Structure 1
């Protein structure tokens, strides 16, 4: 168990964390992607609902 935690600590020191500007850019990209996917599925769901209501 202690060896595992020591290895995790060693690996975490190798990680490069994003700077503030990169983090903002990544956050905006993620939010825009989620909004696009949500809108896409909303339109698909609306279309399927309209088709099913025809029957």
Structure 2
């Protein structure tokens, strides 16, 4: 497909996209950030626990 045909088709498809409203976007952003923070804390605690366990085993 030629680029001269591709770009107008992309623009046409983008006009059909249902974009989220501001309230939805804020809610989704908060959900994603909260999930990332919770997962980061979970894996940090898990890492510390495993590190401590290995340290106890090797001593």
Shorter chain as normaliser: what TM range? over 0.9
TM-score by structure 1 length? 0.93
TM-score by structure 2 length? 0.87
Q: Which runs of 5+ in 2 are unaligned?
A: none
Q: Which runs of 5+ in 1 are unaligned?
A: none
Cα distance in 2 between the residues matched to 1:28 and 1:9:
29
Q: Highest Rg: 1 or 2?
A: 2
- Structure 1 segments, 4+ long, off by >3 Å, are none
Higher normalized helix content (fraction of residues): 2
CA RMSD of aligned residues (A): 0.7
Aligned length: 55
